[in-house]
Structure 1
Amino acid sequence: MVALVPARGGSKRIPRKNIKPFRGTPLIARVVDTLVGSGLFDQVVVSTDDDEIAAIAEEAGAQVPFRRPPELSGDHAGTRPVIQHAINELIAAGVAVEELCVSYPAAVFVSGQDLSTGLDLLRSSDAQFVMTAASFPAPVKRALTVGEDGLARMLWPEFALSRSQDLGEVYHDAGQFYWGTRDAWQTGPSVLTARTVLHVLPHWQVQDIDTPEDWERAELIHQLAEGLTR
């Protein structure tokens, strides 16, 4: 069983984000520690183009058996080709890859139990993928936009008089981890259009870390959550 952490070195909005200390520990080291500590994986592999990221990841317990090529390391490189490259490298090295979990350095709120639940969902269903999700905090069917005249417009005016409790839950990608079969990763459609099961997380556990403000908020929430579980 393999976990893959894509972690390139070229973060722009938070320079060197993947190795920046998050509450005193390099960001990537936190997710590696969670993945290793879950006991689910024979290997936790980091795909990176950066020597410093590789060294910190290896010190945390990950393996970095290859370097990501430059054409997969730019600002516009998609995630799927990075995953496929990693799978091909692992298979060429004799590693059996049947089910693969992809997580990210910023997934600092993921728990071993969440990872285990995701694997159970993949194996107990006919799904190609399992992804984390969270419900939108407000009814999206009552979303507004602003017209050229400066006035509010409903995107779906047919729901203007609907009660919010009648509109049903709608979810978004939480970006914490993605389980998938090897075939699904290599030849399947997008996670968002494939046969995908959702593992729904509470809102506090879903935090983007893309800006300095995001970073500060995530550290505060992480500290509070850690205090509550002690």
Structure 2
Amino acid sequence: MSKSLCVIPARGGSKRIPKKNIRDFCGKPMIAWSIEAALQSKLFSKIVVSSDSKEIIDIANHYGAETPFVRPPELSNDYVGTTDVVRHAVETLDPESNKFSIICCLYATAPFVEVEGLQQAASNLSKPDCRTSFSASSFTFPIQRAVKLAGKGVTPFQPEMMGQRSQDLEPAYHDAGQFYWWTRQALNENAGMFSASSYPVILPRMLTQDIDDQEDWDMAQFLFSYLNKNKC
């Protein structure tokens, strides 16, 4: 198998949910679920956490991840994109591009991630026409019949679709926010994640939950507890 690197971004400055990456989630620090899934997958030559926080670094080490560097301040603010953080980790660990041919970014806030999903993404990248892979899930409602607020009323985004039956409309999918994979060449070339050369891993909707605020957190714990009665 090609040598693969897993990068788990986890900065310490979460504002909407303080210390989100290491807050207790069903008995473990949130980041522990991602680290353990990465380890259990046996897909990676190295699993590293990119963080600016000593507390996060210590917890990451405890659960089996490596922390060979401290993320610099210029990559630890609210405006830095995930790809920049991943690229910094890769260029720091493999500046000659000869150690790792496959790169995975696994979010620290992905407690629903499953080994099978990671393995499918890795398998996707073995196909000659696939350069990137990511987790996706279907929308619960047809996006063709979405509306926007217009004063005190609403306006359809696609008025011509409002009379169509739901079953006759093409299904739509969204980024599920668990993981992103690149071939090393694709990352070096800044290849887009959402293109014809990107193969998604389609997840059940029950395994997708954004965790951006307290309501999201509560919903995630409720769903996780339901799906994993022996873990909570």
Q: Normalising by the residue count of structure 1, what TM-score does the alignment of the two structures yield?
A: 0.94
Which residue does 2:197 correspond to in 1?
Answer: 195
Which residue does 1:109 correspond to in 2?
Answer: 112
Q: Pairwise mapping of residues 146-161 of structure 1 onto structure 2 (< 5 A)?
A: 146-148=149-151, 150-161=152-163
Which residue does 2:85 correspond to in 1?
Answer: 82
Counterpart of 1:186 in structure 2: which amino acid?
N
1:87 match: secondary structure: helix
Q: Pairwise mapping of residues 35-184 of structure 1 onto structure 2 (< 5 A)?
A: 35-92=38-95, 96-148=99-151, 150-184=152-186
Identity %: 39
Which residue does 2:219 correspond to in 1?
Answer: 217
Cα 1:53–1:95, aligned 2, differ >3 Å: closer, same or farther? farther
Counterpart of 2:99 in structure 1: which amino acid?
A
2:14 match: secondary structure: coil
1:45 match: secondary structure: strand
Residue deviations 1:44-102 (CA, integer Å, cap 9, x gap):
11111111101100110000001111100001111111111111011149971100111
Give the drift of 1:147.
1.8
Give the drift of 1:178.
1.0
Alpha carbons 1:128, 1:194 under 8 Å: kept: no
- Structure 1 portions without partners, runs of 5+: none
- Structure 2 portions without partners, runs of 5+: none
Alpha carbons 1:129, 1:194 under 8 Å: kept: no
| Distance in structure 2 (CA, Å) of the matches to 1:94 and 1:76 | 27
Which residue does 2:23 correspond to in 1?
Answer: 20
| Distance in structure 2 (CA, Å) of the matches to 1:55 and 1:113 | 28
Counterpart of 1:188 in structure 2: which amino acid?
N
| Distance in structure 2 (CA, Å) of the matches to 1:17 and 1:137 | 27
Give the drift of 1:188.
2.5
CA-based RMSD of the aligned residues comes to 1.7
Give the drift of 1:166.
1.0
Counterpart of 2:24 in structure 1: which amino acid?
P
Report how many aligned residue pairs link the two structures. Answer: 228
Give the drift of 1:152.
1.8
| Distance in structure 2 (CA, Å) of the matches to 1:55 and 1:202 | 33
| Distance in structure 1 (CA, Å) of the matches to 2:39 and 2:149 | 47
Structure having the higher helix fraction is: 1
Instruction: Point out 4+ residue stretches in structure 1 off by more than 4 angstroms.
Output: none
Alpha carbons 1:127, 1:197 under 8 Å: kept: yes
Alpha carbons 2:97, 2:184 under 8 Å: kept: no
Give the drift of 1:6.
0.6
